[in-house]
Every structure is written in C-alpha cells, then in structure tokens.
C-alpha cells in the first residue's frame, strides 16, 4: 500500500517539555488511521507539527514522499493536507455557505480586476464556486442551513460545517482533531457514516484523533496509541482493544 503521510522519529519540545517523543507513524493512502491516547498525550501536537504550525524539534514528516517539515501551513494545505480543529474555529457571524467558501484557498480565483469588471471569467468562476459550495453542503447534510449564521447552528452541525470547510480546500488527506467530541450517540453514528463515505467514495486518507471509542473502533483501519508523547501501541482495532499497555494507559487516567 502507498504511504501518504509518514512521521519519522518526530520529536517536539516546548522548552523543557517533550510533547512528542520520537514518534513514527505511517498512514496508508485511502485509509482511516486513528491516533488515540489520554489527555495531554501529544495528539494535537502531532497534528500541529504535520500541518506546519510548529516545526519538529527533530525527525522528519513526509507527505506524498516529500519532506514537509518546516513548510508553512498554507503551503501544506495547498499540497492537499487539510485539518479541522479540536475547538471548532468557524466564523460565527458569517453564513454557513460563506464559511465553506473561505475554505476554498486552492481553487485559483480569477484576478481582483476581472471580478471588479464583472468579466465572463469572473462570473463563470463565481458560478463554479457556488456550485461547489452547494455540493459540499449537500454532502454534509447542511443544504437547508446555507444562509444561517454559523453561530446559530446546533453543535453537531458546526462540526459538520468544519468538515465541509476543510473539504473545500480539495484535500487528498484530512487531519481531524476530535470531530466526535461532544456528540450524542446518534450524531456519532452519522459522523461514522460520513467518514466512511469520504474514504469509500472519494478515496480520502484520514488521520483521526479522538477519544470517542465508538468512532475510533468503528471506522479505523489502523490505530496508533500515544501516551506521554510516546507511541505505546499500533495495530488494527481488535488488537488495540485488548492491548495491555493501552488498557493500562487509559485506566491510569
């Protein structure tokens, strides 16, 4: 299987604190790979490092076979690697549709001048963008709320809007930081369905960070477990579920 994202011995230090300690992970293309571990284990730091928020202190990160360590976040997003945030970061006073539009960095816009002059290319591009927004809202089940201000959405729908905005950048790989946090059981099932659909229908690669076991166990092809910044286990869900080191790490918290 082709490896899409690879962390090689990645260490991230903040002053005296080692948040991530020599972690290596290979994520295969077209799979859902979960990263789990107790609070403070270093999961978000892994996502921040992969997306260019912090450079690794040592080690390397490869995306599609090329090193992206130290590459700025916008460049990494343009390469096809997009994330969502643990605490949703939406523009609350903007509409649902406009929040999705803002995710479209990668769709090369027409020049400002042709937009101002209302040239046909600009109108054409504008129509394409609107169509794409409609498709994405349909995909995540938010078509009826396109004009609603994001702040008025119920929580589970905010989560789905974040996903639509990430997809607007046309990624080949998504990094999702706790997309199931705060969801009720039925909403968790919907999220599972959505993640599976992204993988099956679009061949999306997903690195999923979550504590919500029904999601992680339900959708993951492979799971990496970290504790205190170190990898303590890796394997398929049925093996991880009964791994003594994993059980001890979770019981210890």
Ligand X SMILES: Nc1ncnc2c1ncn2[C@@H]1O[C@H](COP(=O)(O)OP(=O)(O)OP(=O)(O)O)[C@@H](O)[C@H]1O
The contact set with Mg ion (CB under 5 A) reads: 43-44, 86
Looking only at the bridges linking them, the beta strands covering 17-28 and 173-177 are unpaired
Name the helix (H) or strand (E) containing 8: strand 3-14
> Least distance from C-beta 63 to ligand X, angstroms?
20
> Least distance from C-beta 78 to ligand X, angstroms?
24
d(CA 93, CA 150): 6
Question: Which residue stretch of 22-30, 41-49, 125-133, 235-243 sits at the interface with ligand X (rule: CB under 6 A)?
Answer: 41-49
> Least distance from C-beta 126 to Mg ion, angstroms?
38
> Least distance from C-beta 181 to ligand X, angstroms?
9
Picking from 236, 233, 207, 217, the residue whose alpha carbon sits closest to that of residue 32 is 207
* 240 to 22, 24, 27, 88: CA distances (angstroms): 20, 17, 17, 28
Question: Which residue stretch of 43-51, 101-109, 110-118, 159-167 sits at the interface with ligand X (rule: CB under 6 A)?
Answer: 43-51
Give the up-direction half-sphere exposure of residue 117: CA atoms within 13 A in the CB hemisphere.
8
Binding to ligand X (CB under 6 A) within 49-108 occurs at: 86
Question: Which residue stretch of 36-44, 71-79, 163-171, 187-195 sits at the interface with ligand X (rule: CB under 6 A)?
Answer: 36-44
How many chain residues bind ligand X (CB under 6 A)?
12
Question: Which residue stretch of 32-40, 139-147, 194-202, 215-223 sits at the interface with ligand X (rule: CB under 6 A)?
Answer: 32-40
38 φ, ψ (degrees, to nearest 5): -60, 170
Q: How far apart are the first and last CA of the chain?
A: 35
| From candidates 9, 14, 182, 247, binder to ligand X by CB under 6 A | 14
CA angle 211/44/135 to nearest 5° reads 80
16 or 186: CB nearest ligand X: 16
30 or 177: CB nearest ligand X: 177
CB of 162 within 8 A of CB of 84? yes
Residue with tokens 């490092």: 49
Residue with tokens 């290596």: 24
If one asks whether residue 179 binds ligand X (CB under 6 A), the answer comes out as no
Question: Which residue stretch of 11-19, 77-85, 89-97, 100-108 sits at the interface with ligand X (rule: CB under 6 A)?
Answer: 11-19
40 or 218: CB nearest Mg ion: 40
If one asks whether residue 39 binds ligand X (CB under 6 A), the answer comes out as yes
| From candidates 19, 25, 176, 194, binder to ligand X by CB under 6 A | 19
d(CA 187, CA 185): 5
167 φ, ψ (degrees, to nearest 5): -70, -25
Binding region for ligand X (CB under 6 A): 14, 17, 19, 37, 39-45, 86
């Amino acid at each position: 299987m082709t490896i899409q994202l690879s962390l090689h011995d990645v260490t991230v230090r903040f002053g005296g604190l080692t948040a991530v300690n020599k972690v290596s992970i290979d994520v295969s293309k077209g799979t859902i790979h979960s990263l789990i571990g107790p609070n403070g284990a270093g999961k978000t730091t892994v996502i921040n490092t992969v997306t260019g928020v912090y450079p690794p202190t040592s080690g390397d990160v490869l995306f599609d076979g090329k090193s992206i360590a130290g590459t700025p976040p916008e460049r990494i997003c343009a390469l096809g690697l997009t994330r969502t945030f643990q605490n949703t970061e939406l523009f609350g006073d903007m509409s649902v549709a406009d929040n999705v539009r803002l995710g479209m960095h990668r769709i090369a816009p027409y020049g400002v001048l042709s937009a101002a002059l209302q040239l046909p290319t600009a109108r054409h591009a504008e129509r394409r963008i609107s169509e794409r927004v409609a498709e994405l809202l349909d995909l995540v089940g938010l078509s009826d709320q396109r004009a609603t201000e994001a702040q008025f959405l119920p929580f589970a729908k905010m989560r789905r809007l974040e996903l639509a905005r990430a997809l607007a950048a046309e990624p080949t790989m998504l990094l999702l930081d706790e997309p199931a946090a705060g969801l009720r059981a039925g909403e968790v099932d919907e999220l599972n369905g959505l993640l599976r659909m992204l993988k099956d229908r679009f061949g999306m690669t997903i690195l999923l960070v979550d504590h919500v076991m029904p999601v992680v166990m339900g959708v993951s092809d492979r799971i990496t477990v970290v504790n205190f910044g170190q990898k303590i286990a890796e394997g398929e869900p049925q093996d991880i579920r009964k791994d003594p080191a994993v059980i001890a790490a979770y019981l210890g918290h």
